[in-house]
């Protein structure tokens, strides 16, 4: 039986961006789940227990800050690293993401290949 691929959850409301990221990560051998809003992202994280969450801050229903805080306060998901990818990149916004439990932050727009490389480095 072949080794199970690492699982990544992308919580991103932009269909185009999520699709491009999903395609690149799948090419690298990852199992990828996507959610278009914060509520769906939380449900998917609890169900699938990904190895990493890529999280946008500006999301429908609840913000990425709240998603991150809830992931980190849930006994099922608190260990999952959260990598925030957002256009909200003022120092106080980055700090707020870290206070909510994010382990990494990348400003949009970004080079998609650079993001994939950072994801690979984060996963054991």
Q: Looking at the predicted structure, is the pLDDT value of residue 63 above 80?
A: yes
DSSP string, 49-60: --SEEEE-SS-S
15 part of a folded domain: yes
**Which residues in 77-102 are b (16+ Cβ under 10 Å) and which e?**
beebbbbbbbebeeeebbebbeebbb
| For residues 18-22, average pLDDT | 94
91 part of a folded domain: yes
- At 117, is the pLDDT very low, low, confident or very high (cuts 50, 70, 90)? confident
68 part of a folded domain: yes
Beta bridge partner(s), residue 19: none
pLDDT for 1 = 38
The count of structural domains within the chain is 1
pTM: 0.93
What residues make up the domain containing 43?
7-122
| For residues 97-103, average pLDDT | 95
Spatial separation of the C-alpha atoms in residues 100 and 109, rounded to whole Å: 22
Q: Which of 109, 100, 98 is nearest to 73 (CA)?
A: 100
52 part of a folded domain: yes
- At 4, is the pLDDT very low, low, confident or very high (cuts 50, 70, 90)? low
pLDDT, mean over the chain: 92
pLDDT for 25 = 94
26 part of a folded domain: yes
Task: State the CATH number of the domain containing residue 36.
Answer: 3.40.50.2300
Spatial separation of the C-alpha atoms in residues 44 and 103, rounded to whole Å: 19
């Amino acid at each position: 039986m072949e080794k199970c691929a690492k699982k990544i959850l992308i919580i991103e409301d932009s269909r185009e961006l999520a699709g491009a990221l999903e395609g690149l990560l799948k090419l690298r051998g990852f199992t990828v789940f996507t959610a278009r809003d914060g509520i769906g992202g939380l449900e998917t994280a609890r169900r699938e227990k990904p190895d990493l969450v890529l999280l946008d801050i500006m999301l429908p229903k609840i913000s990425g800050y709240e998603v991150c805080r809830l992931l980190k306060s849930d006994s099922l998901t608190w260990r999952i690293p959260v990598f925030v990818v957002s256009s909200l990149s003022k120092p106080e916004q980055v700090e707020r993401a870290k206070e909510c439990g994010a382990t990494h932050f990348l400003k949009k727009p970004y080079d998609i290949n650079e993001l994939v490389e950072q994801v690979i480095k984060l996963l054991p």
